[in-house]
């Protein structure tokens, strides 16, 4: 455990985020990301996954606010508490130790400046490189993210590149300062499947080559299935299940994860009835005394809505927030004591 703690890249503990008029949109979210590990954060729209990663990046919307909890980047001498970081701290962290890519790459680039210039600007400002050094390094980075003809791409404007190429440019900018953690928020959602597979492969390669930690945020379990070591499933602003990818997908414990598995993309081409999760997810900030999935859950009982359901640890790395899981874990203990 001590070795793991030593290698921890990000630790989020008991995070609570509210938006607008004190609507609690994210609550009791705790997780950690170790060095060189990729973690998938999965949930429907409105589950709080984007707010969580925006809180880590310090990019909450104007109406958003971190009410409680701690976000700590790095370990030991490099440790930075991001929870109440000042502007100067963010300048040292964002873009340098924390990289990010989002769903719509075109809207994150300046349309009037060549993409190469935008990358070398980052290198000159954050790394203090000279003009020609920055140019050379930019071309190297473009090559590394798999852009063909990197010299040519350097001089092109965003509108001249396709969505997949723009996403590669953004990834090059995000990793240009060798960050410890790269956050990809629905970074492949708008791309077609071939390009999506290529971008996921690129992220995996960057992780292996640079010991980069990855936080992949998506609504599709299938996207994280092959790319992530661990999965966090969010529902209604809470983490409802977490664990190693193979365990969570192979034997989902929370009824919501089970439902997600049923609707997720499976690699078969048969004609079949498409599964749907009945009902609607709770609105942001909706007050519910018990399990937030209970109204849509096939196994819901009165106990589910009676009071808060804690996240129950299943073993070292797995946890689920469900009364059924609580029972299953509690039972052997009772037998032993009897």
Partner 1 sequence: MTLTHPQVAAAPVSPAAEPLLSVTGLTVSYAPPKKAASLGTGAALTEASLQVRPGEIVGIVGETGSGKTTLARATVGLVRPVAGTIEFAGQDIGGLRGRALREFRRSGQVQLVFQDPLRSLDPDLTVADLVREPLDIAGTLSREEKAQRVRESLELVGLDPASTLGRRPRQLSGGQRQRVSLARSISTRPRLLFCDEPVSALDVSNRNLVLTLLDRLRTELDLAVVIIAHDLSSLAGIADRVAVFYRSRVVEEGPIRAVLQDPAHPYTALLTASAPSVAPHHGLRPVDLRVAAGEDRGAWTTPAACVFAARCRFAHDACLEQPTLAPLENHDRSAACHVAGEWTTHLDSQEIA
What are residue 182's DSSP bridge partners?
99, 214
Query: Is residue 44 at the binding interface for partner 1, with CB under 8 A as the rule?
Result: yes
Q: How far is the CB of 270 from partner 1 (least distance, A)?
A: 6
Query: Is residue 192 at the binding interface for partner 1, with CB under 8 A as the rule?
Result: yes
Burial of 39 (0-12, 13-18, 19+ CB in 10 A): buried
Give the other-Cβ count within 10 Å of 205's Cβ: 14
Q: How far is the CB of 188 from partner 1 (least distance, A)?
A: 9
Q: Which stretch binds partner 1 (CB under 8 A): 85-93, 233-241, 248-256, 300-308?
A: 248-256
Query: Is residue 272 at the binding interface for partner 1, with CB under 8 A as the rule?
Result: yes
What are residue 8's DSSP bridge partners?
34
Query: Is residue 12 at the binding interface for partner 1, with CB under 8 A as the rule?
Result: no
11-29 CB burial, b ≥16 within 10 A, e <16: bbeebbbbbeeebbbbbbb
Query: Is residue 266 at the binding interface for partner 1, with CB under 8 A as the rule?
Result: yes
First to last CA, the chain: 32
What are residue 30's DSSP bridge partners?
none
Query: Is residue 260 at the binding interface for partner 1, with CB under 8 A as the rule?
Result: yes
Q: Which is nearer to partner 1, 167 or 176 (CB)?
A: 167
Q: Which is nearer to partner 1, 136 or 190 (CB)?
A: 190
- Per the rule left: phi > 0, alpha: psi between -120 and 50, beta: everything else, 227 is alpha
Give the other-Cβ count within 10 Å of 300's Cβ: 17
Q: How far is the CB of 58 from partner 1 (least distance, A)?
A: 26
What are residue 86's DSSP bridge partners?
none
Q: Given candidates 125, 136, 197, 328, which one binds partner 1 under the rule CB under 8 A?
A: 197
Q: How far is the CB of 148 from partner 1 (least distance, A)?
A: 9
The site string for partner 1 over 201-220 (x = CB under 8 A, - otherwise) reads: x-----------------xx
Q: Given candidates 81, 92, 178, 251, which one binds partner 1 under the rule CB under 8 A?
A: 251
Alpha-carbon torsion 232, 218, 286, 25, what sign? positive
DSSP secondary structure letter of residue 287: -
Q: Given candidates 72, 261, 328, 329, which one binds partner 1 under the rule CB under 8 A?
A: 261
- Per the rule left: phi > 0, alpha: psi between -120 and 50, beta: everything else, 143 is alpha
Q: Given candidates 280, 286, 289, 307, which one binds partner 1 under the rule CB under 8 A?
A: 280
Residues of this chain, 154-173, that bind partner 1 according to CB under 8 A: 160, 162-163
Residues of this chain that interact with partner 1 (CB under 8 A) are 44-45, 146, 160, 162-163, 190-198, 200-201, 219-223, 225-226, 249-252, 258-261, 263-277, 280
């Amino acid at each position: 455990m001590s070795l793991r703690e030593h290698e921890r890249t990000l630790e989020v503990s008991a995070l609570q985020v509210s938006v607008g008029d004190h609507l609690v949109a994210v609550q009791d979210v705790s997780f950690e990301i170790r060095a060189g590990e990729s973690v998938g954060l999965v949930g429907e729209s409105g589950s709080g996954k984007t707010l969580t990663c925006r809180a880590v990046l310090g990019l909450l919307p104007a109406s958003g606010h971190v009410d409680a909890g701690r976000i700590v980047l790095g370990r030991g001498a490099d440790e930075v508490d991001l929870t109440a970081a000042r502007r100067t701290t963010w300048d040292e962290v964002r873009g340098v130790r924390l990289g990010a890519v989002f769903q719509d790459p075109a809207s994150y680039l300046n349309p009037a400046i060549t993409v190469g210039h935008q990358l070398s600007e980052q290198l000159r400002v954050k790394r203090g490189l000279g003009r020609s050094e920055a140019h050379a390094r930019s071309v190297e980075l473009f090559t590394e993210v798999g852009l063909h003809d990197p010299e040519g791409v350097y001089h092109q404007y965003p509108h001249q590149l396709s969505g997949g190429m723009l996403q590669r440019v953004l990834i090059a900018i995000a990793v240009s300062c060798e960050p410890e953690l790269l956050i990809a928020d629905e970074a492949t959602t708008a791309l077609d499947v071939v390009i999506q597979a290529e971008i996921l492969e690129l992220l995996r390669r960057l992780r292996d080559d640079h010991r980069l930690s990855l936080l992949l945020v998506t609504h599709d379990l299938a996207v994280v299935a092959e790319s992530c070591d661990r999965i966090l499933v969010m529902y209604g602003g809470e983490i409802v299940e977490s664990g190693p990818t193979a365990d969570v997908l192979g034997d989902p414990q929370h009824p919501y994860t089970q439902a997600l598995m049923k609707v997720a993309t499976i690699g078969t081409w048969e004609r079949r009835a498409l599964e749907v999760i009945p009902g609607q997810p709770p609105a942001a900030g909706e007050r519910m005394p018990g399990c937030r999935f209970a109204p849509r859950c096939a196994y819901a009982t009165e106990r589910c809505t009676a009071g808060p359901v804690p996240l129950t640890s299943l073993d070292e790395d797995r946890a689920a927030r469900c009364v059924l899981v609580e029972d299953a874990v509690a039972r052997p203990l009772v037998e032993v004591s009897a």
